[in-house]
Amino acid sequence: MSTWSKPNVGSAKVNVKGGFHRAHMRSAIGCVMMDCDGDWIRGCKSMIGLVVPVTAALWSIFYALEMAWENDEKSVVMECDCEEAVALISNIDSTFDMFKLVCMIRNLMSEEWELYELVHIVSSANIAVTALSNRAISDDGGLVELSFPPSYMLPLLVATKRV
């Protein structure tokens, strides 16, 4: 089992999750940004309707990039557990039905970041943001920005800081 790892000093780590919840027939996203000490910076979540998991993952990456840029975080390592989404951004495919969303992500990636990495991770290293995404499934929709972590995430974040 893999675990969350802290970013280098001066960098932020942004974990993203987008997934489809079959029981609810809805998709949701979650984004969690933490500093090099594993402390919460910001987060966001949203129920986004009925989309396939890779599209949900792409939306989570888009919103996380916007969140990091607006928070003036210029050195960012983003982790996503959807290998297909990471591959679609790295190897743009104009025949992909969400091509415009991939282009919007790549536009944000072209901003003047000091460091920007997008990496694929295993799901077990993404548990805090998975909890956030899972809770977003029952929301009404619309992006909810979180200045503080929800109480249900606190045990997961404490466990993350021990790593």
Looking at the chain, list the stretches that DSSP marks H as alpha helix, in order from N- to C-terminal side. 53-70, 83-90, 99-109, 127-136, 154-161
pLDDT tens-digit profile of 106-130? 999 998 999 899 999 998 888 899 9
The CATH fold of domain 13-152: Nucleotidyltransferase; domain 5 (3.30.420)
What mean pLDDT do residues 64-90 have? 95
Domain residue extents for the chain: 13-152
Q: What is the pLDDT of residues 28-56, one digit of tens each?
A: 999 999 999 999 999 999 999 888 899 99
Phi (first) and psi of residue 12, to 5 degrees: -110, 150
Nearest to 153 by CA among 75, 19, 45, 62: 45
What's the confidence (pLDDT) of residue 122? 92
Q: In 3D, which of 148, 152, 120, 122 has the Cα closest to residue 136? A: 152
Quote the mean pLDDT of the chain. 91
